[in-house]
Structure 1
Amino acid sequence: MSDWVYSNAVPWWPYVFILLGGWLPTDMWRYLGVVSANRIDETSEAASLARTIATSLVAAVIAQLVFFPSGALAEIPTAIRVISLAAGFAAFQLSRRRILLGILAAELVIGGWALLVALA
């Protein structure tokens, strides 16, 4: 039973926390959404409100990451983070709303800046 003790020496415990705290609740709501999706009218006021709230939450998280970052992201200058955001958004729009291309464009800006800093 001592194998189940929280310890930095036991490499499996973070995965249990991720499973219980991240994956399980997220997938539970996804499955409930799939089950109830055919009962929801996409043009209803409730669906429109839900889309608006979800979009604003994503925008708020992005704004926080760009303007009030923490950890390693805080070491990147604000101008580079803003340029990366603009490049990602432009790539997203120009590629007919392909999210992966927007993410790659933003990452290329940050990666290019990191490379320049490393070479300097």
Structure 2
Amino acid sequence: MIRLLVGTPLRSDGQLTIKSLAQEAGLKRNKLTHKHTGLKDLFYALVRTQDTRPKIVDDLKRTNGELQQKLTRLWAERDRLRTDVQQLVRVVHVLEVENQQMREAAGRDGVVRVLPVQHRPSDR
């Protein structure tokens, strides 16, 4: 009971509940709710007088919040990387097509002759 009230549980999740108290004590919950009702009542009375949550609950909430933020950042990075990969795949495909066209345009000697492209003036 004391471990739960001070926020240092060893066997439970640290919640101030009969279920957690039973886990800490190594008992089945119904032993506390039916056989040892005095301990149950004492525990509830001590919980009511405690004006703050156990330290572990605050620590877990803070850690959970930090992990949620990190997860959100990682999802955004994953989405960005997926987009980058798709763009790179398209670039590689275009380069493969251009490479094949240049190989086909090469003469028997394997030399590619590229003529300069003349740009037409725009009709604007």
Q: Which has the larger radius of gyration?
A: 2
Larger RCO, structures 1/2 (Cα 8 Å, 6+ apart): 2
- Specify which structure has the higher proportion of helix: 1
The TM-score normalised by the length of structure 1 is 0.26
The TM-score normalised by the length of structure 2 is 0.25
